Amino acid sequence: MRRITGEETEVTGASRTDAGAHAKGAVCHFDAPSSIPARNLPRALNDLLPTDIAVTQARDVPREFHARHWAVDRWYRYRILCGPRDPHRARYVFHHGRELELEPMIVAAGKLVGQHDFLAFTQELEPGENTVRTLKSLLVRRVRDEVWVDVVGIAFARGMMRRISGMLWEIGRGRRGLDSVPRLLAARQSGDAEHRPKVLPASGLCLMKVSYGKRPRDQRGRFEERED
């Protein structure tokens, strides 16, 4: 931004993602001089950015707008390739290479929807960190030779999406039973996080969309859990 505006500019993102993950709908905000029309920013930025990053649109927002605090929910997708290795998709999927049992994965996914303590699905926690989160939906489906895990939630703790996908992957390959799901969700009360689900590689993870609702406004205080 400094090369465009001539001054240092702080850029704030709507959501943090793991190194190696992808984003189709990432959102950020920053203060720009009024002399630069928002419609001109995508082209100016894309001329300077690496080829694997693209700004698709820019718009004027209220000065108090905050990309993270005003978000209503975030939609992530994790892709598991069950077919033969495909070099063209290698950067964007986790290659399992064998079929997964979809039905138990779907049943397990349904048990995670709602507000739960996702302590057993997180990593690198700070002391006393709040791990209660609300998932609005969790859809598991087969798309050609891939299994897609689509999760919409208010906020996500560090590593949470990749561990949710890891648990579903373990269940789909018969390495974990459905009875472990409630135990994982009750890990804080029982004092036993059991064997935490595997953290799947970041390559299969993509932030699909950040939503702000029809009337965007500050969402802090509306949700009990802290947004991360």
Does 18 participate in catalysis according to the annotation? Answer: yes
Residue 80 backbone phi and psi in degrees, to 5: -115, 120
Using CA atoms, how far residue 172 sits from 146, 162, 167, 169, in Å, is: 13, 15, 9, 5
d(CA 84, CA 179): 31
Q: Which residues pair with 210 in a beta bridge?
A: 74
Sole residue written with tokens 């009750």: 186
Sole residue written with tokens 């699905």: 121
Of 18, 145, 150, 228, the active-site residue reads 18
Q: How many CA atoms lie less than 13 Å away from 130 in the CB half-sphere?
A: 12
Closest CA to 227 of 111, 110, 67: 67
Q: How many CA atoms lie less than 13 Å away from 201 in the CB half-sphere?
A: 13
Tokens (6 digits) for 198: 């595997």
Closest CA to 41 of 52, 54, 25: 54
Catalytic residues: 18
